[in-house]
Amino acid sequence: MEPKVKLWIEKAGLLVLSDYRAQLLQHVADTGSLAQAAERMGLSYRRAWGKIKEAERNLGVRLVQSEVGGVGGGRTRLTPTGERLLAQYRRFRTAVEVDVGREFGDAFGEER
């Protein structure tokens, strides 16, 4: 048997961060491009943008910022707040995964 966990964070009952959205933000951070981030997620640009805008609206903060123009066109990157929330979410997620494995072993140890 193995434990499975799905995590997310709500604010006022609305989704603000989840594994899926954290992954999308991570791709933005890694690529500097919402188009590339969307492609890595198998999402349309419009849909990826909508997910980020929804999270921003529900949180009340900006998570990404776009720079227009320059050589090669604009870039999108995380705001300082976006970077901090992503780092916090990843820390939270990793810690909970460790906890879940330990608690599962404690509760079901004799089953394995």
111 touches a second copy (CB under 8 A): yes
57 touches a second copy (CB under 8 A): no
Q: Buried b vs exposed e over 3-41: b needs ≥16 C-beta within 10 Å?
A: eeeeeebeeeeebbbbeebbebbbbbbebebbbbbbebb
d(CA 90, CA 83): 11
Q: 6-35: which residues touch a second copy (CB under 8 A)?
A: 6-11, 16
Contact string 90-109 vs a second copy (x = CB under 8 A) = -xx--xx--xx--xx-xxx-
d(CA 43, CA 35): 9
73 touches a second copy (CB under 8 A): no
Binding site for a second copy (CB under 8 A): 1-11, 16, 88-89, 91-92, 95-96, 99-100, 103-104, 106-108, 111
